[in-house]
Amino acid sequence: MLIGLVGRPSSGKSTFFKAATLMDVLIADYPFATVKPNHGIGFVKIKDLAPEFGKVSNPRDGYVRDGVDEKGKEVKGYWRFVPFELMDVAGLVEGASEGKGLGNEFLNDLSAADAFIHIVDMSGESNGEGKPAENYYSGNDIRIIEKELDLWYLGIFKKAWGILSRTIEIQHTNFAETVAKQFSGLKVTAEDVKQIILKSGINPEGPAKWSMDELSNFARILRKYTKPMIIAANKIDTKRGSENYKKIKEEFDYPIVACFADGELSLRQADKAGLIEYIPGEKSFEVKGQANEKQKTALDSISRVISEWGSTGIQEILNKTVFEVLNYLAIYPAGAKLSDSKGNILPDCFLMPSGSTALDFAFRLHTDIGKNFVKAIDIRTKQAVGKEYLLKNGDGLEIMTK
């Protein structure tokens, strides 16, 4: 799974990316700081399964942190952070499809993205090009980026449509399957195309005669469907932050989450340095080390913002994108003792698309495990389930093979 960060220059994409991955990337107060895409690992935060069995996991990838359960009890290894791939790209400006700014070619790196997090600047202090401004309305950025993403898709479609549509008509190939095959690089499936035809009322007959409007409409709907988007309303700490946030909440019906990327970055770095104890997504943190006056002032002001908003929003956005926008499920491969042959407790946790079955999970572990699947044991209930069993978020399954 790949999640892409998009947005206009200086909206805070690289800050969000650095906060989520702790990778050392360039953050700057001038536009087009990022030129080449940054790849990194972000994490979703879930309640780990091992504590239910009185154990603490040893993740191979990702990590666990202690936490407090619903009853207020301190639990070792309560939270588990499960990795997925995150990507930060250059800023996108109006007219990018005609080559403005850095153009939009770099978006092709995001073709394989399953979803986008659109980082939108709420400060009103810089405009659609990332240049200083006064009282700029953040909603403009949402419209501009939507338009440019649509033009990017349309550009890809236009290139292939002539030949593709004639092939469909002359060879009578299945519309959905042929389109999906051509655009598989954009993660378009035949099922996606079928759903879009159903929902939009687009007539798939005679695609070679489609007008440019019809093709644009199809490209736009497909873009929205195959690259679902969530909005990170960033720079919520600024003077006009909450005012702009309220306005865009009223105007747009995307999932929108208030976000303080810069604050999250400071907290994650301070936690790593041992100055504070901060668990991503929490409303507060604990000062452990000796902070100097400057650090204390900075931490105080971050603390005020996150206690007002409930958190910095970064973890909430990552979780929402994976579990609500994309509907993924976190599934643990587990034996009866929860450990692998080396004694590691629940070393793995996989993110699987919703609708996946026990058999899909077996194949995800290994082709041989899939091929030799007999049954799966739910490690909570100790009940056996068959290959058709639909996975539930947080399941721990032991796969029994021939």
Ligand X SMILES: Nc1nc2c(ncn2[C@@H]2O[C@H](COP(=O)(O)OP(=O)(O)OP(=O)(O)O)[C@@H](O)[C@H]2O)c(=O)[nH]1
11 binds ligand X (CB under 6 A): yes
Q: Is the CB of 231 or the CB of 261 nearer to ligand X?
A: 261
| Cα radius of gyration (the chain) | 23
**Near ligand X by CB under 6 A: residue from 1, 4, 15, 351:** 15
Q: How far apart are the first and last CA of the chain?
A: 30
Q: Is the CB of 90 or the CB of 107 nearer to ligand X?
A: 90
Residues 6+ apart with CB under 8 A from 61: 41, 82, 83, 348
Q: Is the CB of 21 or the CB of 34 nearer to Mg ion?
A: 34
**Near ligand X by CB under 6 A: residue from 1, 3, 6, 27:** 27
Where helices occur in 7-138 by DSSP H, the ranges are: 13-21
Angle, to 10 degrees, between the axis of helix 175-182 and the axis of helix 139-171? 120
CA 31 to CA 35: how far, in whole Å? Answer: 10
CA 373 to CA 401: how far, in whole Å? Answer: 5
CB of 387 to ligand X, least distance (A): 45
- Alpha-carbon torsion (249, 250, 252, 254), positive or negative: positive
237 binds ligand X (CB under 6 A): yes
The dihedral formed by the CA atoms of 391, 397, 398 and 402, expressed in degrees to the nearest 10: 0
Q: Is the CB of 96 or the CB of 338 nearer to ligand X?
A: 96
CB of 28 to ligand X, least distance (A): 5
Q: Is the CB of 316 or the CB of 395 nearer to ligand X?
A: 316
Contact region with ligand X (CB under 6 A), list: 24-32, 224-232, 269-277, 322-330: 24-32
Residue 129's closest CA among 102, 98, 89, 97?
102
Q: Is the CB of 34 or the CB of 57 nearer to Mg ion?
A: 34
11 binds, options Mg ion, ligand X, none, Cβ within 5 to 8 A by partner type: ligand X
CA 357 to CA 64: how far, in whole Å? Answer: 26
Contact region with ligand X (CB under 6 A), list: 27-35, 57-65, 168-176, 191-199: 27-35
CB of 88 to Mg ion, least distance (A): 6
Q: Is the CB of 7 or the CB of 77 nearer to ligand X?
A: 7
Binding site for Mg ion (CB under 5 A): 13-14, 33-34
24 binds ligand X (CB under 6 A): no
CB of 287 to ligand X, least distance (A): 21
Residue 63, helix vs strand vs coil:
strand
CB of 350 to ligand X, least distance (A): 30
Q: Is the CB of 88 or the CB of 282 nearer to ligand X?
A: 88
**Near ligand X by CB under 6 A: residue from 3, 6, 10, 107:** 10
365 binds, options ligand X, Mg ion, none, Cβ within 5 to 8 A by partner type: none
CB of 226 to Mg ion, least distance (A): 24
Site for ligand X in 145-184 (CB under 6 A): none
112 binds, options Mg ion, ligand X, none, Cβ within 5 to 8 A by partner type: none
CA 318 to CA 372: how far, in whole Å? Answer: 35
Residues 6+ apart with CB under 8 A from 224: none
Q: Is the CB of 35 or the CB of 163 nearer to Mg ion?
A: 35
Shortest-Cβ-distance residue relative to ligand X: 91
262 binds ligand X (CB under 6 A): yes
> C-alpha distances in angstroms, 272 versus 50, 162, 252, 289?
24, 54, 37, 11
Residue 384, helix vs strand vs coil:
strand
Look up residue 95 and give its amino acid. Answer: G
CA 215 to CA 212: how far, in whole Å? Answer: 5
94 binds ligand X (CB under 6 A): no
- Give me the count of residues in the chain: 402
Angle, to 10 degrees, between the axis of helix 212-226 and the axis of helix 190-200? 120
Contact region with ligand X (CB under 6 A), list: 23-31, 67-75, 215-223, 225-233: 23-31
**Near ligand X by CB under 6 A: residue from 4, 6, 12, 258:** 12
**Near ligand X by CB under 6 A: residue from 165, 226, 234, 356:** 234
Query: In which element (H, E) is residue 296 found?
Result: helix 293-309
Record the tokens describing residue 343, joined without a space.
């004694």
